[in-house]
Structure 1
Amino acid sequence: MDDMLGPGEVRELHDVLASAVPSVQWEAVLAAGERLEPLSLRGRTDVVADALVDALGSYPAAASAFRMGLANPAFTGWMLWPVTEAAVTLALRSGEDEDFDDALALLAELTPRLTSEFAIRRLLREQPERALEIIRTWTSHPDQHVRRLASEGTRTYLPWAVRVPQLTARPELTLPILDAMHNDPEVYVRRSVANHTNDLARHAPDLVLETAARWQQTGTPGSTWVVRHALRTLIKKGNPGALELMGFAPAQVSISDLHAESEKVALPGELAFGFLLTNTGDVPAKLAVDYAVHYVKASGSTAEKVFKLATVELSAGESRKLTGRHAFRQMTTRRHYAGVHALELQVNGVRHGRLEFDVSI
C-alpha cells in the first residue's frame, strides 16, 4: 500500500498544482517525491504535506490553490491525502476560526476525490464541538461521499487515523450524525454508520443497544441492515441485549461430534472442522452459531477472536451438520506463532465444546 503514493503520484500532483497556480514555487513538492522510497504510506504523506505547507505558507493560499486544482479531473486519488493534511496544518497554525471552518468546508469539497477522513481528525481534536456543529450539517448533503465523511471521519477507532479522546470520553456526541443517516439510501453511507456504531459498542454498549432498539422500531430495510452490522461485535461477545434485539433467544442445544479433518495445520493452511448441532428444547430456535479461535501469542499465552459461522433455525429436536474452514496465513494484521491452538463453538452467546490443534510455521 505504500506505493499508492509514489514519485509518479507526486509528479502528477506537482503538475496539477503548477498548472492551476503557476505563481507558486512548487519545486519542493517535486523534490519530496524523491524522498519517499523507504517510508510507509503515512510517512510519505507527511513528507509531501510538509512540502506543500512550505510552498504555500498560509491557509488562504492553500485553500485557493487546492480549490483551483479541483477544476482538473487529474486532481484525485492518493495524492490528495497530503493535500488534506497540509490544509489542516495551515488552518490550525493560523488559529483563526474562519480558517478552521473553511478547512472543514474544503475537506468536504475534496472528499469525493479521496476521503478526507484522516485529516479531519486533527480538527476534531482541536475543537470537537465546533467541528461537530459543522459536520452534522453534512448528514443531508446531496453527495454521498460527504455524508459518509460525517460518519467515517468521526469514528472512535477509525483505522489508520489518530485518536480523538473527546469522542471516546463522550460517545453521545456523534449520535445525532448516526441518527440522521442510519437509514441513508446509499449502502456506502449505511456501512459507515454501522461501523461507527460498532466502534461505540466497544466502550459504550448500553448506548449502542438503546440506539439500535430505536432504529429497529422504524422497520425499514436500511435500518434493519445497519442494526445487524452495528451489533456484530456485541453478538460475538454474547451480549444478551444484542442477541435479544436480533431475535436470538436463550435456547437449549447440544453439540456432538466436534472434529477436525486434521489436528495439525502448517502455514499457510486451513483448519477444516465439523459438528452436529441439535435443538434439545421443545420449541423452535433461531441460533447464531459462531466460533472462537484461541491464537498462540509470542509470549506463549493465548488470545481469542470470535468469527461468524452461520445463522440457523431448528425445529424442536432437529439436528443439523455444520462445517467450517478457517485459514491460517501470516498477515500484516495478525502474526501467527507455532503451538497448540484451540477452537470453541458459541451458540447464542454460550460456549460449547473445545477442539485443540497444532499450528506449525
Structure 2
Amino acid sequence: MAEPLKNLLHPGLVTDMASHISVAAPDFDATRFSRLATDGMEALELMQRSERIRDALTETLPADYAVAANILRQALPTGDKPGLTGWALLPVNQFVSQHGLGHFDLSLALLKALTPHFTAEFGIRRLVHAEQDRALAEISGWTTDANHHVRRLASEGTRPRLPWAMRLPALVKDPQPILPILVALLDDPEDYVRRSVANSLNDIAKDHPALVADFVERHIEGASSERRQLLRHASRTLLKKGDAKALANFGFAAARGIETLLIVTTPVVTFGDKLGFSINVSNEDAEPQRLMIDYAIHHVKANGTLAPKVFKWKTLDLAAGGRQSIDRDHAIRAITTRVYYPGTHRIDILINGRVSASLDFELHMD
C-alpha cells in the first residue's frame, strides 16, 4: 500500500526545520517549535499537519513579520549550505499567506526566492487575490526569469482553480488578465513550465470554453510540436466534452457514418482486477475520417447514482469503408482519488466527443 500523503510531513522533518532556522537565527527556540509542531501530529492529515507547523512558526518566530521573513529567507539553501527545502516549505507558504499581506513586496520576494526549493504556488494566491493588479504587474516580469521554477510560478500561482489551494474568484470570472503571462510562456524551453500553462488554460476552459477554443485557434497555426502538445493538453476538458471548436482545432469533425461494436470481455469484475473490453470501428461514410476515441467509466457512487470519468485512449485515421479493432484493459484498483462501490457500472465509447456505444458491467467488492 502506498505511503499516506500525510507522512510527507513528519517529526524528523520538523527537527530538520528547527535546525535550519536556528542557523539563520541562533536565538530561535527550536525545542518549543518542535514540541508545538508535532503535538498531536499523528492524528492529522497532510494540510492539517502543515497548518500545525505554520502555527508553531507563528508562535516561535519574531512577531515582526519583516524580521521573521528575513529569517526564513536566510534559512533557505544557498550554494553548498543546506536549508529549508521540499515539503518543509509548505507550512512556510502558509505562514507567508497568513501574515504577509501587510508586507506585499517583501512577501512576493520571499516566495520568489522560495519557489526553486519547492513551490510557492500556495503562498502567492492570497496576495494575488488581495491585490490582483499589483501582484500581476510583478509576476508578469517573472516570465523571463532565468530560473524555470520562477517562470512556472508565474503561471501556476495564478491558475484560477489550482488544486489543493484557494480559488481566485476574480480570475475564475475574468481570466483575461493572466492571458499575457500564458502567451509569454507558450514556448518556454522547459516542459515543466509548459505543462503549467496548459493546466491554467484547462482551468479557464471549465468556465470559458469559447475563450480557450479561440485562444488555441489563434496560437496553433505554425506551432512547434511542443506548443501543439501544450495546446492539446490545454484543450483536454473541451475535447472530452466534444466541443466542436476544440475538435476542429485539432483536425476532428463530427463523426459521420461511424459504427461501433463494443464487447466487454469481463462483464463481472472483482475489485483489484481489470475491466477488459474491445471495439470494432467501421467508417461507412464515403470520406476518410480522423477519429479521437476515448472511453468513460460511469462509477457507482455511495448513493447509487453513476458519475462518469473520461479516459483518453487512441487517435486514428480511418479510410472510407475502413475497419479497425482495438482492445483495452482498465484497472479497477484502490486509488486515493476515488472510493469504489459495488453494483452495475457502465462504459461508454466516445468518438470525437460523442457516445458511440455503451455497455454495463458488474463490479464486485472482494
Is contact 1:289–1:311 with CA below 8 Å preserved after alignment?
Answer: yes
**Alpha-carbon offset, residue 256 of structure 1:** 4.1
Q: Does 1:225 align with 2:234?
A: no
Question: For residues 219 and 68 of structure 2, what CA distance do their matches in structure 1 show?
Answer: 41
Matches of residues 90-105 of structure 1 in structure 2 within 5 Å?
Answer: 90-92=99-101, 95=102, 99-105=103-109
2:57 matched residue in structure 1? 52
Q: 1:191 aligns with which of 191, 195, 199?
A: 195
Secondary structure of 2:117's match?
coil
2:277 matched residue in structure 1? 273
The residue identity in structure 2 corresponding to 1:103 is S
2:92 matched residue in structure 1? 83
Q: 2:130 aligns with which of 126, 139, 156?
A: 126
1:172 matched residue in structure 2? 176
CA RMSD of aligned residues (A): 1.4
Q: Does 1:237 align with 2:237?
A: no
The residue identity in structure 1 corresponding to 2:49 is R
Is contact 1:198–1:231 with CA below 8 Å preserved after alignment?
Answer: yes
- Indicate how the Cα distance of structure 1 residues 87 and 28 shifts in structure 2: closer, same or farther if over 3 A, else same: farther
2:362 matched residue in structure 1? 358
Is contact 1:253–1:277 with CA below 8 Å preserved after alignment?
Answer: no
**Alpha-carbon offset, residue 218 of structure 1:** 4.3
The residue identity in structure 2 corresponding to 1:268 is G
User: After alignment, is 50-59 or 10-19 more displaced?
Assistant: 50-59
Secondary structure of 1:145's match?
helix
Is contact 1:263–1:357 with CA below 8 Å preserved after alignment?
Answer: yes
Cα displacement string for residues 132-178 of structure 1 (whole angstroms, at most 9, x for unaligned residues): 11111111111000111111111122111112211211121211111
The runs of at least 4 consecutive aligned structure 1 residues that moved more than 4 Å come to none
Is contact 1:4–1:41 with CA below 8 Å preserved after alignment?
Answer: yes
Q: 1:252 aligns with which of 250, 253, 256?
A: 256
Question: For residues 74 and 25 of structure 1, what CA distance do their matches in structure 2 show?
Answer: 17
Cα displacement string for residues 174-227 of structure 1 (whole angstroms, at most 9, x for unaligned residues): 111111101111100000100111111100111101111121124222321111
Is contact 2:261–2:357 with CA below 8 Å preserved after alignment?
Answer: no
**Alpha-carbon offset, residue 38 of structure 1:** 1.0
1:27 matched residue in structure 2? 31
Cα displacement string for residues 274-293 of structure 1 (whole angstroms, at most 9, x for unaligned residues): 01111111222111001111
Secondary structure of 1:37's match?
helix
The residue identity in structure 1 corresponding to 2:329 is R
User: After alignment, is 340-349 or 216-225 more displaced?
Assistant: 216-225
Structure 1: segments with no counterpart, 5+ residues: none
The residue identity in structure 2 corresponding to 1:147 is R
Structure 2: segments with no counterpart, 5+ residues: none
2:69 matched residue in structure 1? 63
**Alpha-carbon offset, residue 46 of structure 1:** 0.8
- Indicate how the Cα distance of structure 1 residues 348 and 53 shifts in structure 2: closer, same or farther if over 3 A, else same: same
Is contact 2:283–2:323 with CA below 8 Å preserved after alignment?
Answer: yes
Among the aligned pairs, what percent are the same residue?
Answer: 40
Secondary structure of 2:287's match?
coil
Q: TM-score, normalised by structure 1?
A: 0.95
Question: For residues 263 and 183 of structure 2, what CA distance do their matches in structure 1 show?
Answer: 45
Question: For residues 91 and 323 of structure 2, what CA distance do their matches in structure 1 show?
Answer: 57
**Alpha-carbon offset, residue 248 of structure 1:** 0.7
